[in-house]
Amino acid sequence: MHQLITKEPTWVREYEAMLEALKQAGGDPSAITSGKFATLVVSANKVLAKSELPGIRFEAEEIPTGIKARIVVEPGVKIPQPVHLCFGMLVQEGVQEIIVRYEIGEESQVAFLAHCTFPNAKQLKHLMEAEICIGARARMSYTESHYHGPYGGIEVRPHAKVFVDEGGKFMNNFNLVHGRVGKLEIDYEVDVGKEGVAELVAKVYGM
């Protein structure tokens, strides 16, 4: 079940504004609200909503500048629909730090669709430090779509260490095709085991 963490009015308004920003970025808010998908919605350092399905769970805690999270897919579990992650900030200035560990159990399959929306960014930083552990013969894809608004006042630094076990597969796509890029630094370090595969693609429009 998709549920808001709290129904406090200011949080509800922020959640609705995040969904509107997602729509502006070309995403589908109904995928977040339907309850048919595993989802996690984070604005700045607030975990606004989440939805879990059998075989996948989210553990997330707020820190002063963002969140610290652990996302686990149990061994042998095949998640049929994309897992939707929504990270963003609605203000013009600030810092969002996402510290996250992905644990993908052996012989499991999962596809993540991450929407990162910063529609009003004038002096923002979005920092991600990720550790991704993909078990033997498991499959994980991660598609990250960014919307930075018209001002170009954002610095984005996604950094990750990826470990792909024997026969595993990791597919990563970074897309920034709406709004001005600002400053971007992508740094992924990948360690691939025997007969494992890793493919990383970035598509960025500069304006």
User: pLDDT per residue over 127-172, tens digit each?
Assistant: 999 999 999 999 999 999 888 888 888 999 999 999 999 999 999 9
pLDDT value of position 21: 84
Q: CA–CA distance from 141 to each of 47, 111, 124, 134 (Å)? A: 23, 5, 27, 10
Q: How far, in Å, CA of 18 to CA of 4, rounded?
A: 13
Q: How confident is the model at residue 1 (pLDDT cuts 50, 70, 90)?
A: low
pLDDT value of position 6: 64
Cα 147–chain centre separation: 13
CA 72, 174, 189, 141 torsion: positive or negative?
Answer: positive
Q: In this model, does residue 207 exceed pLDDT 80?
A: no
Residue (of 164, 190, 168, 54) closest to 107 by Cα position: 168
Q: How far, in Å, CA of 39 to CA of 2, rounded?
A: 7
Q: How confident is the model at residue 5 (pLDDT cuts 50, 70, 90)?
A: low
Q: Residue 49: is it exposed, middle or buried by C-beta count within 10 angstroms (0-12/13-18/19+)?
A: buried
Q: How confident is the model at residue 85 (pLDDT cuts 50, 70, 90)?
A: very high
Give 137 or 28, the one with higher predicted confidence: 137
pLDDT value of position 59: 96
Q: How far, in Å, CA of 17 to CA of 110, rounded?
A: 28
Residues 67, 73, 78: CA angle, nearest 5 degrees: 140
Which of 7-21, 52-66, 111-125, 162-176 is the least confident region? Answer: 7-21
For the residues 69-85, what does the mean pLDDT come to?
97
pLDDT value of position 25: 72
Residue (of 20, 139, 137) closest to 86 by Cα position: 20
For the residues 12-27, what does the mean pLDDT come to?
84
Kindly calculate the radius of gyration of the chain based on its CA atoms and give it in whole angstroms: 16
Backbone angles phi, psi at 80, to 5 degrees: -75, -30
| Terminal alpha carbon distance of the chain | 40
Percentage above 70 pLDDT, the chain: 95
Mean pLDDT score across all residues of the chain: 91
- Which run of H or of E encompasses 151? none
pLDDT value of position 7: 64
